[in-house]
Amino acid sequence: GQNIDQPTEMTATEGAIVQINCTYQTSGFNGLFWYQQHAGEAPTFLSYNVLDGLEEKGRFSSFLSRSKGYSYLLLKELQMKDSASYLCAVRPFSGGYNKLIFGAGTRLAVHP
């Protein structure tokens, strides 16, 4: 089966750092994506990991451990506009298929 778990909600303070965790169990693994989604809007791509380790992209970093089926998204210097849902998605298959399995998302609220 396929299962992706993320916390439902998190809160943080403007200027702080927050880590959003994602654990997954899928039949095969071919990459993990993080997307940001503001309410009622389209998801937008944040990061991609296929090998173990940390990928840094400005205020956002994403980490992957394939042996543990674990990833996290780290957001630094939080801004009010970072209040959104953060979606962890796994691409389970190889061989030409680009299907993504999404977690339910973590709703992040940033307070002043």
Partner 1 sequence: DSGVTQTPKHLITATGQRVTLRCSPRSGDLSVYWYQQSLDQGLQFLIHYYNGEERAKGNILERFSAQQFPDLHSELNLSSLELGDSALYFCASSPQEGDVYNEQFFGPGTRLTVL
If one asks whether residue 102 binds partner 1 (CB under 8 A), the answer comes out as: yes
In degrees to the nearest 10, what's the CA dihedral of 12, 15, 16, 22? 70
Selected from 21, 26, 30, 83, the binder of partner 1 by CB under 8 A is 30
Nearer to partner 1, 31 or 76 (CB): 31
Q: Do 47 and 57 meet the contact criterion of CB atoms below 8 Å apart?
A: yes
> Which residues sit at the interface with partner 1, rule CB under 8 A?
30-31, 33, 35, 40-45, 48, 50, 87, 89, 91, 93-105
